[in-house]
Chain A
């Protein structure tokens, strides 16, 4: 499976998925005009990794503003992580946010709410 490398724009985040390392990163704002177009490759990648790689998968988030459809896409991805975790696959997530913007940390907590896998929320100084 190839890696994903989606370049950041003013309305979409940078998305990198590294098959070898088992890491997927998203960074920036997410206001895509078509969220399906942006996130479907990501959802497919995660789904294929969880099905075939049989290795731990880690999600690294550094997101600031998300529109409603991006929130939904991210929740779908977290649901896939949760399902994999329940089946015994080692998955984890970390959400880093700017310490000056505490509300982003609170929002990350909302996303974390239903997740039982390792999910760290850390403030960057």
Chain B
């Protein structure tokens, strides 16, 4: 293809030839018409090229625009997902915290009564399904009222927290001790008959007494404990009433001892 300047040069040469019309060549009118047609075609071609270029540019812009919009949408979706995930983990943490608050006793950090009642229901269903047994021990701090009355409620709270720690340390990993109310603690001994429960309860009682003695606390903190084994098809309330009666007998027989509701003879503190 000839360059633009060559084309211009060619045009000028033809125009010069046509101007020098004195040679009277008979081909001249046809040649003149042919040249005009050529010029018209040339202008048409230029226009077409310009229009076509415009369209191509517009299409290209449109494509880039789509890519841009697509990328913006993707970024927006990624951001929504990220923020949404963070909200979800925030809610999950809140849920965990609420769960903890609703199942823990604030002062001692032990599970609360609500939590242990649910555990007892679970335990009963398991025994009903798989057999086996379990026992509970109801422990009460001896002469706790005197601590509150003579040394104040802050001292009473400290005794409760300390006792809770001692009990927690002395039970097995799968036993559960809850603050039952006031100065009472209920301990669940899963998969455990009353003979083993008695041994475990005695260990708890000794640890509490020995540790407070080691700390030089006066008076020494001691526990009275009533234990009982679950009887098939009875209600939680019936079992707890029996443990409470055994605790009452432990108090009656001088405190700082464990009494079993399921044995006629009363075990004594060694």
Contacts and interface: CB of A to CB of B under 8 A. Distances in A.
A53 B156 CA distance: 67
A37 interface: no
B126 interface: no
Interface size of B as a range = 10 to 19
B91 A107 contact: no
A67 B85 CA distance: 10
Interface in A76-125: 103-104, 106-107, 110-111, 113-114
B87 A66 contact: yes
B172 interface: no
Interface string B85-121: 0110011000000000000000000000000000000
A4 B83 CA distance: 27
B86 A103 contact: yes
Interface of B: 76, 79-80, 82-84, 86-87, 90-91
Nearest to A111: B83
A71 B83 CA distance: 8
Interface residues of A, number: 15
A61 to B, nearest CB: 14
A81 to B, nearest CB: 15
A110 B82 contact: yes
5 contacts: A65-B90, A71-B80, A72-B76, A104-B90, A107-B87
Interface string A49-68: 00000000000000001111
Contacts of B79: 75, 110, 113-114
Contacts of B84: 67-68, 71
Given A68-B80, A71-B80, A72-B80, A110 B87 contact: no
